[in-house]
Amino acid sequence: MKVLIGANPMGLEGVLPPTGVSHPDVEFVFEPDRDRLKEAIADADVFVGWIGREAFLDARKLKWIQSPSSGTNYYLEIPELVESEVLLTSARGTHAACVAESAMAMILAFTRGIRAGVSAQQDHKWAAQEIRSAMIELTGSTMGIVGIGAIGQGIARRARAFDMRVIAVDAFTTDGGEDVESVWSLARLDDLMAESDYVVVTLPWTAETDGMIGSTQIAAMKKTGMLVGVSRGGIIAQDALAEALRKGTIASAALDVFTPEPLPSDSELWDLSNLLILPHVAGGTQLEGQYIAQIFEENLGRFIRGELPLRNQVDKVRGF
C-alpha cells in the first residue's frame, strides 16, 4: 500500500509514519512538488494533503484522502470525487483548542483595550484614559455559540472560565456539555442572536448554512454586541455585516474566515475600524502536525482492517 503525502505547512512528512508504529506493508512517500504530484499519485492508495481535480483524475488506485484541515469544501468542489467511492476524512477536532483560544483572544482584543492599545502604540500615544474608559469585563455576559461541536465546546469551556453564561444553537444535538446552559435548535437562531452579548459562529459551511447569518440575524443582536466568525467564510453575509458595522447596528466584529480568500485588497472590510481581520489563521498551533498524525494513525489501522466508517469520515453529499 502506498501512502502519498503532499505539500503541507504542518510538516506532516516529519511525523508520518508515527514513531514506534510499524506498517511493513505500507510505503510512505512525500512529494511536495505539485508538478510531480500527478505522476506520484497515479499508483497511490492513500493521499494526505490537498488535491486538485487534475491530480485526482490521475489517481487511478486512490481509495482514501485524509484532509489536513477541518473543513473539506475544497475537496467537495471536485464532482468526480464526490461521486466516487474514495473515502474522505477530515482533521475535525484537531483545531478545537487553538480555534477556541483564538475566538476568545479576538473578543479580548476589543474588551480589554488591546486593539486600541496597539493603535495608540503605533501613534506613540499614551491613551490611558481613552482606552480604560472603553474596557468591558466579560463576567456575567452571555456567549452565544452557533454550532456546538468540538470547537464550540472548547469555546464554551473558556467562556465559563471568564464567568460567562453560555447558550448555543445546533442542528444535531441538544447536549453541549456541562459548560453550556442551553442548546436550542437552529430555529431559535434569532433568539440566540438577541440574547447574546458575544456570538461566535463555528458551523461548517454547507449549502444549508450559506448566508445563515444575514442582515435579519445581525439586526437581532444587541447594539453593544460582537459577532465572531472562525469556521468558514460564506456563513456570515459579509455585505450585511459591513453595513451593520458602519451604521452601528452592532458594536464590533472579528473574522478569521472570508469569501473569497484571500480577502481582496479593495474590500471595504479592511477599512472598518470596529472589525478585526485575521487571515484564516485561528487554527494555527505548534501541535497541529501531531494532532493530524494521531487521527491518521488511528484511521490507517481501521482502513487496513476494513473497519468503516473511519474517524471523521465526511458525508460527501451533506458536506461534513
Contacts of 247 (CB under 8 A, 6+ apart): none
Residues 7 and 121 in one domain: no
3-state secondary structure of 245: helix
Which has the closest alpha carbon to 26: 41, 6, 4?
A: 4
- pLDDT digit string, tens, across residues 127-183: 999 999 999 999 999 999 999 999 999 999 999 999 999 999 999 999 999 999 999
Torsion angle, CA of 144/148/154/158, rounded to 10 degrees?
20
The average confidence (pLDDT) of the chain is 96
Q: How far apart are CA 7 and CA 232, in angstroms?
A: 22
Decide if 211 contacts 232 (C-beta within 8 A): no
State yes or no: pLDDT of 269 exceeds 90. yes
| The three grid cell numbers given for residue 228, joined into one nine-digit string | 465572531
Residues 85 and 100 in one domain: no
CATH code assigned at 43:
3.40.50.720
Task: Determine how many CB atoms are found less than 10 A away from the CB of residue 224.
Answer: 12
Residues 66 and 148 in one domain: no
Decide if 194 contacts 220 (C-beta within 8 A): yes
pLDDT at 51: 95
Which has the closest alpha carbon to 183: 218, 220, 146?
A: 146
Residues forming the active site: 232, 261, 280
Please indicate, yes or no, if residue 153 is contained in any of the structural domains.
Answer: yes
Please indicate, yes or no, if residue 27 is contained in any of the structural domains.
Answer: yes
Domain that holds residue 150: 96-277
Q: How far apart are CA 101 and CA 99, in angstroms?
A: 5
Residues 109 and 162 in one domain: yes
Counted domains in the chain: 2
Please indicate, yes or no, if residue 312 is contained in any of the structural domains.
Answer: no
3-state secondary structure of 187: helix
Residues 168 and 117 in one domain: yes
Torsion angle, CA of 40/41/43/47, rounded to 10 degrees?
120
State yes or no: pLDDT of 240 exceeds 70. yes
Residues 110 and 203 in one domain: yes
Please indicate, yes or no, if residue 38 is contained in any of the structural domains.
Answer: yes
Q: Is the peptide bond before 68 cis (omega within 30 degrees of 0)?
A: no
Torsion angle, CA of 184/189/194/195, rounded to 10 degrees?
20
- pLDDT digit string, tens, across residues 85-126: 999 999 999 999 999 999 999 999 999 999 999 999 999 999
Determine if the pTM surpasses 0.85: yes
pLDDT band at 23 (very low <50, low <70, confident <90, very high): confident
Residues 192 and 44 in one domain: no
State yes or no: pLDDT of 17 exceeds 90. no
pLDDT at 177: 95
pLDDT band at 22 (very low <50, low <70, confident <90, very high): confident
pLDDT at 20: 66
Site of grid cell 461521486: 83
State yes or no: pLDDT of 299 exceeds 70. yes
State yes or no: pLDDT of 67 exceeds 70. yes
Decide if 148 contacts 156 (C-beta within 8 A): yes
Decide if 134 contacts 150 (C-beta within 8 A): no
Complete DSSP assignment for 5-64: EE--TT-GGGTSSPTT---TT-EEEEE--HHHHHHHGGG-SEEES---HHHHHH-TT--E
Counting residues of the chain whose pLDDT is more than 70, the rounded percentage is 99
Residues 143 and 238 in one domain: yes
Task: Tell me which amino acid residue 5 is.
Answer: I
Q: Is the peptide bond before 32 cis (omega within 30 degrees of 0)?
A: no
Residues 109 and 90 in one domain: no
Helices and strands, counts by H and E, the chain: 12, 12
Residues 47 and 110 in one domain: no
The whole-number average pLDDT for the span 70-78 is: 93
Residues 74 and 136 in one domain: no
Please indicate, yes or no, if residue 320 is contained in any of the structural domains.
Answer: no
| The three grid cell numbers given for residue 35, joined into one nine-digit string | 508538478
Helix (H) / strand (E) element for 129: namely helix 128-132
3-state secondary structure of 105: helix
Residues 85 and 128 in one domain: no
